[in-house]
Amino acid sequence: MFPAMGVVIKNGRTRLRVAGGELLRERGRTTTAVPGPQIRSVEAEDGALTVLLFDPGEPPMTIRHRSPQVLAAFAEEIRAIRPGRPYEGARPPVRRETADPWPGRTARVRDFVTSAHPLLKAAAAYVVVGVPVVALIPVVPRGETVGAWLAGGAGFGLFAVWAKLVSLRTRWIVRFRGVTVQVDPPDRVGGTADTQPDYRYRFRALDGRLYEHTSLWASHNGEIRYDPQDPSRVVVPTRIMWLFVDVATLVAFGVPGSGLIGVWLDWAVRVPDALF
């Protein structure tokens, strides 16, 4: 079963979406939920979307977007959650909820172990194994050991730079003219005991057609972003991946740095000699 369009409107820290028969406005850690019966009218014109509510104590909800097509599609989604006939009885109130500042650490570690890319796991293992060796074992001169370990870690930038060059054009196109949509939890396809499965997303584009996209990455917020002119161009927003790819731009020296991994391994092999 394919989902509806699930358009998400973003403007700075403010995000608007429709979910569970409610209009949700998220800003920082605060979410305002407006039930469908509370919506009086929806207007999308001059690059702005305005939602008027029946509750006299609630101000209009307004957000701007550069694409009239996206605003029109989002306005239709809001109208779809309004009652089809005159509403009887007390209208459900507008709710405001504040999320915890930080998710549970255990959950973050579990998610990393189960869904992180193998390259990120390798980098984490490099740090976990290397720090005790550098900090606790009395290798002399210590400065050269620390320098070799840090430079060797930069070698992982080689792979990140390659990934960025491959996807740079798609990411810039989708970033500037893409449409953000909500998606259902993806199916996990492929994978073996030694490899991570891929994630298959299903979404409906503004043209009304249904699309699928398979990615190595799991979306951290239940959204994907696609190019409305070519919905095959899709970016899956993932905190770890975006951070990793952006930092890769600054570590272009990863190509020569990767050679220094051998230097670090040489020091690690000679550790037993330094202890005896």
Question: Is there a contact between 197 and 191 (Cβ–Cβ < 8 Å)?
Answer: yes
CA distances from 182 to 59, 167, 205 (A): 26, 22, 11
CATH class of 7-98: mainly beta
Q: What is the pLDDT of residue 253?
A: 44
Q: Which is nearest to 42 in space by CA: 12, 85, 72?
A: 72
Question: Is there a contact between 116 and 240 (Cβ–Cβ < 8 Å)?
Answer: yes
pLDDT < 70: residue spans in the chain: 1-5, 100-169, 191-196, 239-276
The two tokens of residue 6 are: 């699930």
Q: What is the DSSP string of 156-200?
A: THHHHHHHHHHHHHHHHHHHHH-EEEE-PPPEEE---SSSPPEEE
Contact partners, residue 191, CB within 8 Å, separation at least 6 = 197, 198
Give the residue range(s) of CATH 2.30.29 domains in the chain.
7-98
Q: What is the pLDDT of residue 257?
A: 46
The two tokens of residue 182 are: 């909500």
Q: Which is nearest to 228 in space by CA: 260, 193, 181?
A: 181
The two tokens of residue 7 are: 């358009």
Q: What is the pLDDT of residue 1?
A: 46
Which secondary-structure segment (H or E) carries 95? strand 95-98
Q: What is the pLDDT of residue 203?
A: 93
Query: pLDDT digit string (tens) for 100-146?
Result: 665 555 556 666 555 555 566 666 666 666 666 556 555 555 566 56
The two tokens of residue 127 are: 């740090």
Q: What is the pLDDT of residue 227?
A: 92
CA distances from 22 to 51, 94, 156, 184 (A): 13, 10, 44, 17
Q: What is the pLDDT of residue 255?
A: 47
What does pTM read for this prediction?
0.58
Q: What is the pLDDT of residue 201?
A: 94
How many other CB atoms are there within 10 angstroms of residue 255's CB atom? 14
The two tokens of residue 136 are: 């606790």
